[in-house]
Each structure stands twice: as C-alpha cells, then as structure tokens.
A and B are shown apart, each in its own frame.
Chain A
Amino acid sequence: MRFLGVIFILLISMTVHASRGRVLNMSAAPFFLDGNRSFISHKVLGTTCSSFRSLSHEPVCNAALLGENQKIESGRDHPDSLIFPKGYFAANIFFGDDYEILYKNKDAIEADDKMILAESLLSERDPVSFSGSANLWWRGETLALIYQPLRLTYFSLVKNQAYPDIVIHAMQEQSMAVQWGGFLNSDLRIGLQARLIDRKFVHEEFNLFDAIPEMDRHLVLRSQKLILIEPGFVYEVHGDEDVEQWRPLLTANLTNIGFADHLYDDVPSRAVLDTGFSLSPPIAFGDWELGLNYRWASQIDGDKKMRLASQYRLGLAGFLFAIDQDQWSFGVISNYRSVSAGLMYERTRAENIDGQSKYEDSGYVEFRISL
C-alpha cells in the first residue's frame, strides 16, 4: 500500500503539468533517437523501456538488464514466465500506418525530384508520420547482437495552405548494436551498448514560396555515420520477503553518446539520460510489471517528462500500456511457439490552440519469428 501511495504522489506530480500541450515545430526530431525502438513493446513503453526487466523476446533497452539469466542461474526465485532462453536468434518487421503516403514520396526522394515531392506534400492537410524497420538479433545470457538492415521514418506537416510552411523528415537508416550486461555484485548491474549507425535523411522546415527561388538549397539529402557508446545501470532493491516479491529496480540509462562524422544543428547530438524504476507486484494470475521513467536531459522540446508504463502477461498474450503528458499508447503481443505478432495504437496530443487539443493517431504492427 505504501508503494501505491508513493506511486500516486509521482502520478500527481506528473499530471499537474499534463495540460501543457506541445508545439510541434520539429516533432520529427525523436526519430533520430528511436532507432532501437523497433518493437511493439519498446514503442509502447517508450522511455520506460529502460526500466523493464520482463522483455524476454526482444532486445533490452537498457543493456544492464541483460543480466537476468545470470540471476536465474544464481538460484534466486523468479517467475516462470521470466525464464529466458540461453541464446536464440530472431527476426522481425515493424511498421506503422500512412505507409502509402510514404511510398508515394519515397520515389520522389530517391529520384531527388524536389518539385514533385513538394507538390505532393501540399496535398497532405494533416500531419503524416511513419516508421518501419526490419531487425535481426541474437540474444544470449549476457550478450546480444542486433542488426537493423533497414529502418525508414517519415514525417510531414503543412501549415497554412494559403502560404505554406512545410515540415519534412524522411530518413533511411542502417545500424548494428552489441549489448553486454551483467552483475557487478548482488545489487548492482551494469551494461554497455555499442551502436554503429549509418543514416541518410532529409530534415527541414521551410516556407514554400521562400524556397522556390532557391530550391536547390532545400530538401538536400544529408548523411551521418555514428558510433554510440551507451552505458546502463540497474540497482536491485533488496529487503524482506515482501520486497523481494515486488522485485523493485532502479535504473539509469545514458544514450546518444559517441562520435559522428557530421554534426547538424537540427539533429539531436547531446546525451539523453533516463532514470526510472520498476516493480513486479505479485498477482494471482499472470505477470505484471509497472515502470516509471523520467527523462532528465534531451535537446528536444517537450521530451523531458515522466512516463508511466505497465506490462501484463498471461499465457500467450501480453498487454502493454503507457502514458505521459502528451501521449498514451496501448499494445497487444501474442506469442505461439516461435512466432509472435503484435499490434499497437498510439494517440499523441499535437497542438493546444486556445485550450483545444488536436490529436494524432497512429497504429503499428509487428511480426516476429524466433529460432
């Protein structure tokens, strides 16, 4: 009950400021930071993913959480559902809606036909957002390798059809990551993720009429290669039998640190710090995990916020839910033998004009196979 009281206080502190809407000037900036969030579970949980220990069928968000299998082998009690296989291969595809519009504009992007691209954008009245990727990974006890041969992201928004300001983001990315994590002692775990990223993108905001006289300077394809070294920490809270049943964790994860061949002002380049905690309240049926995360440092406006998430699993199905001051997400994942599929729905508050909010709705799908 005390735990619930404390969680209640944290929720209150979050919801006090929930009414502030977010101005989306370059709302596509988060795409640069979400490269490893190409799974339904990661996408729903969002920043809280760094605190969840129960991600058994996909790569972890915080490398320090890889040490779960070490814990099992140490003989500590654990829920049956958290028995992690010693090592397995898997692959998935993950994509969102509005793919048709992305496909239509992708040809223009590849052909470098800026006039057709800009003309196509003018016909889109509402914001369009898309994210899709394919992943291959191997996850062992304390080591994981993740290869993302392709990730595509897209965002466009036209403001004021009579004198259009256009926001556009289109990106193609490839990456490879190595994760290592394990126990330093009975309470503390550390992890490290090294990522190589190669991306090509268009990311810009401009007025159409101001751009026409100098179109060659706009919608320029840029590239960036990065090496990121991202540490993670997990502190296991121990206590009496009650505490052990709730399995509380405190986590910290530092991402977006490393080296890049080119730095751009409009691409986030500073480190991002997430801290959070999670609990696995003991329940009669299934497994339940609750997590809370606060993002302390981020260059993106409106990104510094609290997010609350929850995952519940029973049998073949898992249900995820997350909420913060601007967004809520809900997802369902179903596993059967080596195949799984997932669906998610996300609603984001996009504007707050004179007290009236406008919402963007998105849906995503994932198909996965494990070997």
Chain B
Amino acid sequence: MVTTIRNLYLILLLVGLLSSGVLSCTRYRQSDTEDRLEKIQRQIDNDQYEESIHQLQEILKSEPNNDRARAILASVYVRRAGVVVKNYFDLAKIATMTDTESSEPVIDTQSLKKIEEQGGAPVKNLAVFLRKVNETAAQADKIVKKFEAIPVVSNQSARDLQSALLNLEEMKDPTPGMLLYRGIIKLYYFKFLWVNHALLPVGDGRLCSLSAIEIARKLKIMNEYSFKMMIDIAAGFPKEMESIAKQARQFQAVMSSAQIYLLKLPNSELSLKQIFKLQLKDLNVRNITCDF
C-alpha cells in the first residue's frame, strides 16, 4: 500500500515536472509582420496613434512594398481625423445611384441666352464658358449632395486625411479593396475642399474675383482629383465599374471643356469680373453681373 502511495506521488510529481517542461519548451510563435500589424490594429482601437504610426513607419522602412502596412498607416490618420467608415454601406448605395435632382444654376440661364444672342464671337465664348461653369458647379454639387452623410471635417482632421492620402498614393500594387479605401478617403477630403471653396470657389463673388488663368488651373486640379477619386471608387464595385467610370468621364469632359473655353477668353490675366465688364459693356443686357 505504501508503495502504491509513493508511486502516486511520483507520478503526480512527474506530471508536474513534465508539464513545466512542456510549457517552457513550448515554442511561442515568433512575431512576424502580420502579428505586429495585428497588434498595431489593437493599438489603433485603443487610440494609441503616435505609437502605431511609429511602428508602422518602422515596418515600412524594412518592407517598403508592404501595401497592407501602408493602408493601416493611412487608417491611423483617418481614425485620428475622427472619420469612421461604418456608414460605408450607405455611401456604397448612393454611389451607384444614377442621378439626383438638379441643383440651381450658378449663373442665370436666361441671361446667358441673351448674351449668346446679342454678342459676337468673343462674347459667345464667354457665354459658353459660363455654361460650362454652370455644368461643372452642378456636377460637383450633385456629388456633394449625394454624399450628404459624409461629415465635414475640421482643418486639423483634413490635414490628417491629407497625410493618409499621401501614404495611400505610395502603394505599389494595391488590391481593388485598397483602391476603394483610397477613393473613400478622397471623397471625404473632396467634401472638405468643396465646402471650404478650395477646389472651385463658386458663390458670393469668389469665382469672379479670380483670373481666368487661375480658374483654369483650379479646374485642372479638380478635374484630375475627382477623376482619380471616382476611378478608385469604381475599383471596389466591379459590377458597377462601367457606370461609375462613365460618370467620371462625363464630369471630366465638362471640366476639360470649361478649361478650353476659359483659355480662349481675351485678357485672361484679368479677373472674371473685369472680363465680364469688358465683354458685356456694349451689349444691351441688364442685370448680369459677375457676382458668383
């Protein structure tokens, strides 16, 4: 009997030692990049932004082609900007809608018609340009109205979004999902730029205070930005890609056309308001002033 008890103690002791040995010999999975990225994602959820940025930059130094790390780095800035894309699914439905209701034209169309009827070639060019301004502003306004759910971010948050986009532009071989993500962030930034009149400042005399050359430059920037934005978004919707791409090309065509007519205007270094005055002074057109 004593032998049996002693054996029991020995067995139990052996089990204890063995399990200690097993536990200490257990190979812990070495931290690889994916493990680090997972840990960083948890840090982001815990609002540890600076530490996350630092660690992601370290990873990108050794793995500059790691697009996933780059996307996660962008997401830190996006998260810090207070932009949470959980409303993405509503945005997705809106993006595939064909048309919203038309907005009010910036420049009164009846007046435009009078200008066209009465003026010679230079004035007609001005009138065509102003029609293009109407179309461009209407298209941009449609985009903004479609995505009313997107909040307007603060200046600081906009700087964070810009940092995010700079990182996303450096992706080497992005997946369609990463392109979609970039497009969504561009959409947020687009809204900020539009609402703050940084793209094409329309209304309250802002456009008229700019020179024709300056307006053409802004149209070019807006053209490139919005086209790339819409193509990025289209990458995430293979079935609707053609429809979205078609909308993007239409918008691009309108703005390109506006640029062309703008550069045909005489005295393009003058402000639009001054060009208006010069072009319309001999015409019998009342109540047309450049105040948009």
Contact = CB atoms under 8 A, between A and B. Distances in A.
Contact of B38 (A14, A23, A161, A212): A23
A351 B38 CA distance: 11
A75 to B, nearest CB: 20
A198 interface: no
Interface of B is mostly: helix
A46 to B, nearest CB: 16
Kindly name the residue among B26, B41, B176 whose own CB sees the greatest number of chain A CB atoms within 10 A: B41
A165 B71 CA distance: 12
A12 B92 CA distance: 55
B120 interface: no
Contacts of B72: 160, 163
A213 B236 contact: yes
A6 B42 contact: no
A17 interface: yes
25 contacts: A2-B9, A12-B20, A13-B17, A13-B19, A14-B23, A17-B24, A20-B28, A23-B39, A119-B86, A160-B72, A160-B79, A162-B78, A162-B83, A162-B84, A209-B177, A209-B180, A213-B236, A213-B238, A214-B238, A238-B4, A239-B5, A243-B1, A248-B8, A301-B29, A353-B43
B34 to A, nearest CB: 9
Contact of B177 (A9, A16, A212, A248): A212
A213 B237 contact: yes
Contacts of A17: 23-24, 26
A301 B22 CA distance: 15
Contacts of B12: 3, 6-7, 10, 277
Given A212-B180, A212-B236, A237-B4, A161 B86 contact: yes
Closest 3 CB pairs of A and B: A210-B177, A163-B75, A13-B20
A100 to B, nearest CB: 19
B13 interface: yes
B19 A10 contact: yes
B236 A159 contact: no
Interface string B154-192: 000000000000000000000111101100000000000
B104 to A, nearest CB: 34
Contacts of B24: 16-17
A91 B89 CA distance: 43
User: How big is chain B's contact interface, by range?
Assistant: 35 or more
B1 A165 contact: no
A108 to B, nearest CB: 12
Interface in A214-250: 214, 237-240, 242-243, 248, 250
Interface in A146-162: 159-162
Contact of A162 (B19, B22, B79, B92): B79
A122 interface: yes
The interface centre, meaning the residue of A115, A209, A211 with most chain B CB atoms within 10 A of its CB, is A209
Interface string A273-307: 00101000000000000000010100001001110
A185 interface: no
B175 A210 contact: yes
Given A162-B76, A210-B178, A212-B180, A14 B5 contact: no
A156 to B, nearest CB: 14
A81 interface: no
B86 A13 contact: no
Contact of A163 (B9, B39, B78): B78
Interface of A: 2-3, 6-7, 9-10, 12-14, 16-17, 20, 23, 25, 115, 118-119, 122-123, 125, 159-165, 207-214, 237-240, 242-243, 248, 250, 275, 277, 294, 296, 301, 304-306, 351, 353
B5 A243 contact: yes
B149 interface: no
B282 interface: no
B176 A213 contact: yes
Contact of A240 (B5, B23, B178): B5
A253 to B, nearest CB: 15
B150 to A, nearest CB: 14
Contacts of B88: 122, 208
A173 B42 CA distance: 32
B19 A14 contact: yes
A165 B41 contact: yes
A50 to B, nearest CB: 15
A243 B43 CA distance: 53
B285 interface: no
A306 B15 CA distance: 11
Given A162-B75, A163-B181, 18 more contacts: A10-B16, A10-B19, A13-B16, A16-B23, A17-B26, A123-B86, A159-B38, A160-B41, A160-B44, A161-B86, A162-B78, A209-B177, A237-B4, A239-B5, A243-B1, A294-B15, A304-B22, A306-B23
B49 to A, nearest CB: 11
B260 interface: no
B15 A207 contact: no
A252 to B, nearest CB: 12
Contacts of A9: 13, 16-17
A213 B19 contact: no
Contacts of A305: 23
A307 B31 CA distance: 26
Nearest to A250: B11
Nearest to B34: A25
B8 A243 contact: yes
Contacts of B237: 212-213
Given A13-B17, A160-B72, A163-B72, A207 B44 contact: no
Contacts of A243: 1, 4-5, 8
B170 to A, nearest CB: 16
B35 A23 contact: yes
Nearest to A210: B177
